[in-house]
Amino acid sequence: MRWDKIKQLIPAKVKKTSGEAWLTDGVKGMLENTSELRTKTLIHFLAASGVRIGALEGLQMRHIKQIEDCKSVLVYEGSTEEYTTFLTSEACGFLDRYILKRKSDGEKMTPTSPVFRVTYHLGYSKVKAATAPSLKEIMRWVIEKSGLRINQVKTCKRYNKQADHAFRKRWNTIMKTTPTMNISLAEKMMGY
């Protein structure tokens, strides 16, 4: 059989999404349409660090270190994909308020406490880390509530801006278009 000729008959793969980034107005809209501190912290965390939302599931308090007016975040500790990224001072402020609220609700914070936990009625109830699907659902809900899906285009059942990965695309775009940014450092902070 002439496999080279047969392979030419296979249609080209279609890109499922365009991978566009959230703009500043979109992020502001999300923040204005939620009053929950955990959701605001999640939005700031994703926008400031560029981490994948799946990495938040295993993120513990010991992975976050204070450095002057920002924080460093160790992502995927112990794996071959391990890398370090940083939070802005604004994102640090929201994270600190979120942690302080959990402590004031009675949670005993330890180095192995999850950075993002499931919702709770009593802070001292058993702490469970928020799962990636639940965090994705939070992001989907806040995007729908803020009306950001109204003008978006759907291609192959997907929107042109992914609910969570568009934050990573935003961070990558900002880092690589900053004239004074070292591109290799930006790649390291993306985990590439």
Would 175 be classed as within a structural domain? no
**pLDDT (average), residues 51-66:** 93
* Alpha-carbon separation of residue 27 from 44, 87, 98, 154, 164 (angstroms): 9, 16, 19, 20, 11
* Band of pLDDT at residue 126, cut at 50, 70 and 90: confident
* Alpha-carbon separation of residue 82 from 59, 93, 149 (angstroms): 12, 25, 33
Task: Specify the CATH number for the domain of residue 31.
Answer: 1.10.443.10
Would 97 be classed as within a structural domain? yes
Would 43 be classed as within a structural domain? yes
pLDDT digits (tens, 9 = 90+) for 8-36: 888 776 655 557 888 888 889 999 999 99
Would 4 be classed as within a structural domain? no
Structural domain of 43: 17-167
- Alpha-carbon torsion, ordered 173, 176, 181, 185, to 10 deg: 100
Would 69 be classed as within a structural domain? yes
Would 116 be classed as within a structural domain? yes
* Band of pLDDT at residue 7, cut at 50, 70 and 90: confident
**pLDDT (average), residues 137-158:** 81
Would 101 be classed as within a structural domain? yes
Sheet containing strand 70-75, strands side by side: 64-67, 70-75, 83-87
Would 1 be classed as within a structural domain? no
The count of domains in the chain is: 1
